[in-house]
Structure 1
Amino acid sequence: MHSASVSTAIEVAIIIAAKDAAATIGEAVVSALAETETREVIVVDDGSSDGTSPAAWAADDGSGRLSVIRLDANRGPSHARNLAIERSTSPFIAILDADDRILKGRFRTFDATARWDIAADNILFVDERAALSLADIAMPAACSAPRLLSLDDFIDGNISRRGMNRGEFGFLKPVIRRSFLDAHGLRYSRHLRLGEDYDLYARALICGAVFELLPSCGYLARVRANSLSGRHRTEDLRRLAAASRALLRADGLADSSRQRLQVHARQVRDKYRLRRFLDLKRRSPLAAAGFLLSSAQGARAVIRGVLADKVAAARRALAPMNARQNREPFRFLFPVRPVEANVEK
């Protein structure tokens, strides 16, 4: 039991890195400011060419909690988030993407007195084309106990296995205790524009972070066909592959963790090799052939990747037209036990 004089509520800074997000930033800001636990909302307009900054200011509620930082040139989400973290003063930090939103009452389930360094709830992914109300969705029960997410669990949740869905724990949008970040000198890697969340969470767990996974769901992510996260460059994959290998150099890794990190690093490296081969093939078939001949392991990765892509394309072509057109309108990041009562709109 907590003492009546001890507040269990968190005070959180919500930071939003935004690039050309004028159409969605307003809804994100409104949802962040609506939470009573929100002490500050910091938007970093990362070199947008549209009206992202004015759109963010237009969503201000007059409480003095919103600030908008405008960067003249795009520096990437890691730089933008690190800048917002340095500007914020709250004891807890939460990340919100510019095209997502916080669900009402999200932070009530986060206990400031509990012994966690990182805590994350479930994510509701909604197809941007779906005309859904939250009242149409059975939300997960909030009464079951949280569980701890170990380094092994986290890496497992980011490894692809044939015929199985990944846990995709790298997509989690947790609340992070600032004191833990500062004590271990942790920030987003300035080199990464892809997988920066995965890299930060993995490094935090290696440093001994207590990572709690809550059964509730308080974060809504819109699934868009043209999202920035789906348009990564070959160079982004190369940098993520290097960051994945760097995790293996950490001191004190358990054998089980090292084995999982090696599998993940190999998968990212193979994705980079395939993308590099396809880039070379478009420019120079001779250069692409040379790339294949330069490494037997690289050649195997490319061949497996090409075959997998062709099989996936064939399956899509053979699927009924209605199945191709009707994606699932929503899904949760990890399996849930629904409750009968509907969430508030």
Structure 2
Amino acid sequence: MTAQSKAGAITDNPEISVCVIVAAKNAADTIAAAISSALRDVHVTEVIVVDDGSTDGTSEAAEKANDGSGRLRIIRFEVNKGPSYARNHAIACSSAALISILDADDFFIPDRFSHLLATRDWDMAADNIAFIDQRWIGHLNTLAIPRFHPQSWFLDLPTFVGRNISRRHRHRCELGFLKPVIRREFLNRHNLRYNEKLRLGEDYDLYTRALALDARFQIINNCGYGAVVRADSLSGQHKTDDLKQLADADKMLLESGTLPESAGEAVRQHERHVRSKYYHRQFLDTKAKKGLVAATAYGLRNPPAILPIVRGVAMDKFDDVVRLFRRAPGTPPDPPAPRYLFPGPTQ
């Protein structure tokens, strides 16, 4: 079946048509693989790429992945506007019943949407994620992604928020990494879109607000999303103010009165966690720019910041000591095997 005939077959059933949105900045090396993985899926009727102010030929690289089916559209911003704005713009330009986000350096595992759409009693549906070291790129055909048992469950708001508090020195497994397929009708009914002030945690914020509106968020164990782990990923290069904006988004939600009582404490814990990281980062920024005296004065002027600063500095010093006693690296180790967001029994 050709790409055109595949797309046409799904168009006949618009309720299961999927628009894949790729917001990209300087992703020329990876975006073609991401787009190709989306276009291979028969449920995908639209792929909208938003080149968000790239300077490396991202748009041209994206066009090389065009399969001629007419499903790919590339929109270019001359000035970077952030992932939330780019995704909202793509949603406004699309028409498919279902919305799916794909990061520009990630990929879909074949037949992803067939598994996600096997049931329909949900507003959002996400699957397991394989976190894959970037050194495996180019050798993905040698990786064996296990077939997990396809059991499903529904995610509640306190569990989701609680699973977004990161732990130092542990693999990051926050549920904000989930990339669900979302019903456009649910987004429109509740006037839900990405918070355009956020350049960090925009997925977490949208999912939290959706769950506060009683979204049915289904999770399946089947692994359908490949997240490439890179040392230089944009998500790991956030600014100090990005932390403040995320903490403020939690605060606004707490003050909105829309949260069920059972979820309020979880959101408060998340807000404190993120704001503590902001205080620590702000102290370090002030120290780097103006010196220790100015950084200390910043802490003393902000009593809630004192404990997070002291704790953060102490943990940094502990890490420095640990690194001193580590052996000098020898031959670089082989890339680690993939790890999974939901480890579980395989078929």
TM-score by length of 1: 0.90
The SS at the match of 2:231 is: coil
Match of residue 49 from structure 2: 43
Aligned to 2:340: 332
Q: Distance in 2 between matches of 1:224 and 1:138?
A: 19
* 2:30 alignment counterpart: 24
The answer to whether the 8 Å contact 1:157/1:166 transfers is no
1:101-145 deviations in Å (ceiling 9; x for gaps): 11111111122752100100011111112365455334142x432
Provide the rounded CA distance (Å) in 1 between the counterparts of 2:330 and 2:343. Answer: 22
- Which of 89, 107, 117 is the equivalent residue of 1:111? 117
- Give the deviation of 1:319 after TM superposition: 3.9
1:131-170 equivalence runs, <5 A: 132-141=139-148, 143-161=149-167, 167-170=173-176
Structure 1 residue corresponding to 2:319, chosen from 305, 312, 317: 312
Residues in 1 aligned to 2:168 and 2:73: alpha-carbon distance in whole angstroms: 45
Cα distance in structure 2, aligned partners of 1:259 and 1:56 = 43
- Tell me the residue number matched to 1:121: 127
How do residues 112-261 of structure 1 correspond to structure 2 at under 5 angstroms? 114-130=120-136, 132-141=139-148, 143-161=149-167, 167-261=173-267
Partner residue in 2 for 1:3: none
Give the structure, 1 or 2, with the largest relative contact order (CA under 8 Å, sep 6 or more).
Answer: 1
The one-letter amino acid paired with 2:40 is: A
Provide structure 2 residue ranges, at least 5 long, that are not aligned to the other structure.
1-11
CA contact (8 A) 1:16 1:42 kept: yes
Tell me, in whole angstroms, the C-alpha distance in 2 between the residues paired with 1:236 and 1:166: 18
Change (3 A) 1:321 1:112: same
1:223-302 correspondence to structure 2 within 5 Å:
223-285=229-291, 286-302=293-309
The residue aligned with 2:67 is: 61
Residue 95 of structure 1 is matched in structure 2 by 101
Deviations 1:180-201 (A, max 9, x none): 0000000000100010000000
Q: Which deviates more, 82-91 or 151-160?
A: 151-160
Counterpart contact for 1:92–1:178, Cα < 8 Å = yes
2:84 counterpart of 1:78? yes
Letter in 2 for 1:315: V
The count of aligned residue pairs is 333
Instruction: Write out per-residue CA displacement over residues 86-105 of structure 1, whole angstroms, 9 at most, x where no aligned residue.
Output: 00100000000111111111
Verify the 8 A CA contact 1:155 1:260 in the aligned structure 2.
Answer: yes
SS at match of 2:263: helix
Counterpart contact for 1:139–1:338, Cα < 8 Å:
yes
Q: What's the C-alpha RMSD, in Å, of the aligned pairs? A: 2.2
**Stretch moving more, 15-24 or 304-313:** 304-313
Contact 2:212 2:260 in 1 (8 A): no
Distance 1:262 1:306 in 2: 23
- The alignment partner of 1:39 has SS state of strand
Per-residue displacement from partner, 1:251-276 (whole Å, max 9, x unpaired)? 25333311111110001001000111
Q: 1:102 to 1:317 in 2, by over 3 A?
A: farther
**Alignment correspondent of 1:342:** none
Structure 1 residues 323 and 40: alpha-carbon distance in aligned structure 2, compared to 1, 3 A threshold = farther
2:16 match: 10
Query: Gaps (5+ residues) in structure 1?
Result: 1-5, 340-345
- How high is the TM-score relative to the length of structure 2? 0.90
* CA offsets 1:203-237 (integer angstroms, 9 cap, x no match): 00001100001111111111111110000001111
**Aligned residues with identical type, % of pairs:** 47
Q: 1:336: Cα distance to partner?
A: 2.5
* Cα displacement string for residues 271-294 of structure 1 (whole angstroms, at most 9, x for unaligned residues): 000111111101112321211111
